[in-house]
Homo-oligomer: A and B are copies of this chain.
Amino acid sequence: MRLTDRQKLILTLIIHEHIQTAQPIGSKTLVQKYNLTLSSATVRNEMSVLTDYNLLRQPHTSAGRVPTEEGYRFFVGNLIHKSALPTTTRRTITHQFYQSRQDVEQWLKLAASVLANQSQAASLVTAPHAEKAIFKHLELIATRGRQVLMVLVLMGGEIRQQFITLPEPVAQERLSEIAAQFSNLCVRRDADGIARMRQHFDALGQDILEILLAEMTLIEESATGEIYLDGMTNVLSEPEFAESDEARQALHILEERSLLENLLASTMVNTDVGGIQVLIGGEGTWEELRQCSVILARYGDPKSLTGSVGVLGPIRMPYDRTISTVQFVANVLSDLVSETLAV
């Protein structure tokens, strides 16, 4: 599909205008508003062509034109000029990160909050997660009776805590001893590697080893880390969701962890760190997202820890700005992660 420059201009203007007003745009309005040196009739003809190409659509005969999903896709793919985020915005964001508590959880929450505010849409951020779980450190803390708190630290900084119940009460000194043994023998090993160390431990140690293995397998199997959401109410205030329950459906995806993981997994599979994915109107696969667009980026260290960050908003979304924002936040997170967490 080859468009003339004028057609591209008109498509761009219509999208631009529609994003602001949420209304169908007519030929006359367009000419007036942008002082085009064209008559409305000419614009009408071009619009007609764009409609044939399925880039524009009329809600009904004799209303203005509205971009189709394909229109948006063409726009995002070919016409968008990747504007860098204004320096002031970038400074504001960076500032917030560097003055927050030095804590991964805080950073992720902050990233979600910043994205939600900047884009006025719902944001989602997943914790950095390694494909392979590599052991770093184990801690066992007696609580009472046979209950023991197990804290497992992986290379890269992922931490999991869990209460386990031992066959019989064990003194704290004994637990610390075993934990130290693990931390010495198993550091930098994966689940298989740890399994092979089995004979170095006594009965109690072996019990704990089994639990540890189960836990590490569990971590590896989960496709993504913890998921942080923010700004869901932003989406609700968009006019296109005023009275249908389309918004409810879209937000439902965010709430249902398993759906969300699917979405992330299938979208991120081809995306490298630094890359960005734009999913417009569900792309035929996600029925519930027919009215929504999702912009996702990957952050972290490609070889070890990666996570996703993105926003979900109405199709009618300021793509250039939002894409820049998502990308910028992903970069900031990448920096923070590689500074503090890298293996």
Contact = CB atoms under 8 A, between A and B. Distances in A.
B255 A231 contact: yes
Nearest to A106: B162
Interface stretch (A13-21, A76-84, A143-151): A143-151
A103 interface: yes
A232 B236 CA distance: 12
A150 to B, nearest CB: 10
For the complex, would chain A's binding face be called helix, strand, loop or mixed by DSSP majority? mixed
Interface in A178-235: 180, 230-233
B141 A153 contact: yes
A interface bracket (residues with beta carbon within 8 Å of B): 35 or more
A163 B104 contact: yes
Interface string A248-273: 10011001000000000000000000
| Copies in the assembly, this chain | 2
With a 10 A CB-CB cut-off, give which of A105, A232, A247 has the most chain B CB atoms.
Answer: A232
B143 A157 contact: yes
Contacts of A151: 139, 151, 153, 159
Interface stretch (A39-47, A64-72, A237-245): A237-245
Interface string A104-144: 11000000000000000000000000000000110101011
B157 A149 contact: yes
A342 interface: yes
A322 to B, nearest CB: 20
Nearest to A101: B162
A120 to B, nearest CB: 13
A48 to B, nearest CB: 35
What 3 pairs across the A-B complex have the smallest Cβ distances?
A243-B243, A236-B248, A102-B163
6 contacts: A102-B164, A103-B162, A104-B163, A141-B153, A159-B161, A233-B248
Interface of A: 101-105, 136-137, 139, 141, 143-144, 147, 149, 151, 153, 157, 159, 161-165, 176, 180, 230-233, 236-237, 242-243, 245, 247-248, 251-252, 255, 340-342
